[in-house]
Amino acid sequence: MNREEALETIRAVIEEAVPGADLSAVPSDENFRERLEMDSLDFLAFVEALSGRTGLALPEQDYPALATLDGCADYVAGHTGGAQSEPA
């Protein structure tokens, strides 16, 4: 999965976990969990769905890397063999 595909998947997964979320208003380097007021269950639903789509285990200690859209995209691309655009 390259970075662009990863980003697309991530956006779809967030919109699934948080129906009605306006992702266009969230800068890609900002903490979307805070911005979208996701609670711990929302975030877990996001992680679960992302894990399902990507096949990645997404262990809890890696959650900090998943805080922003950029971070998520780099992480997913990096762990699925896709090229990272830039070092995170």
Partner 1 sequence: MPSLGADMDEGTLVEWLTTVGAEVARGEVVAVVETAKSTIEVECFESGTVTELLVEPGTTVPVGTPLAVISPTAPVRPPPARGPVPAGDATATPLVRHQAAEEGVELAALHGSGRGGRITRSDVSRAAHPAPSRHPAPSRVHASPLARRLAESLGVDLSAVRGSGRHGAVKADDVRAAAGSRTGPDQAATVKEASVAAGARRAPKAAASDTGTSAAAAAAASASASTSTSDRAAIARLMSRAKREIPHYYLSTTIDLAAALEWMRRQNSTRPVGERLVPAALLLKAVASAAREVPELNGHWTDGRFVAAAGVRLGTAVSVRGGGLVAPALADADRMPLTDVMATLKDLVSRARHGRLRASETADPTLTVTNLGDQGVESVFGVIYPPQVAMVGLGRVTERPVAVAGMIALHPTVTATLSADHRASDGATGARFLTTLDRLLQHPEDL
Q: Which residues bind partner 1 (CB under 8 A)?
A: 18-20, 37, 39-41, 44-45, 47-48, 51, 57-61
Give the nearer residue to partner 1 in terms of CB position, either 2 or 67: 67
Give least dist CB 41 to partner 1, A. 5
Please state, in angstroms and as integers, the Cα–Cα distance from residue 74 to each residue in 20, 39, 40, 53, 69, following that order.
25, 23, 22, 16, 9
End-to-end distance of the chain based on CA atoms, in angstroms? Answer: 17
Question: What minimum distance in Å lies between the beta carbon of 48 and partner 1?
Answer: 5
